[in-house]
Amino acid sequence: MAELLTNKALSGTTGEVWFDGEKLANLKKADLKVEGNFEDLQVCGDYRTFPNYVGYSVTGSVTLAKIDSLVLKKYATAYKTGDIPTLKIIAKLTDKSTGKVERTAISGAVLTTLTLANFEAAKLIDEEIPVQASDYYVLETI
């Protein structure tokens, strides 16, 4: 069995995210993913069910330490008017031992939930920003 090089394990501490070119300094977590959409295919004479690929969806969320009303300001009016702005989101993770980076991007991203208030006594506030997007790109790999 190959030896596990624990000093090569990546850490989220080196992660960075940009919304439309603006770096999010208060980033706590990023979770962007592509999910395959499959329909079940069953054929006569075979008891198995086969997954049949019919497309994909791009979803995820970004969690920020709440320091301002940036998201509320950008989206509060948009939801009332129906003119929802789209974002390009770039995520970057750096391997600190080599300096190599993994960068991915999603485009046509929209905020799917607008949180108006979410707080609790004696607790720091996190702001989760759930998104859906129309496409994704792998820009660099480690």
26-62 residue pLDDT tens: 999 999 999 999 999 999 999 999 999 999 999 999 9
Q: Is 103 exposed, middle or buried (0-12, 13-18, 19+ CB in 10 A)?
A: middle
Tens of pLDDT, residue by residue over 56-104, are 999 999 999 999 998 999 899 999 999 999 999 999 999 988 889 999 9
Residues 6+ apart with CB under 8 A from 57: 34, 35, 37, 132
pTM to 2 decimal places: 0.89
Q: Cα 110 to the chain's mean position, in Å?
A: 11
Strand partners, 65: 126
pLDDT band, very low/low/confident/very high, at 2 (cuts 50, 70, 90): confident
Q: What is the mean pLDDT of residues 5-16?
A: 84
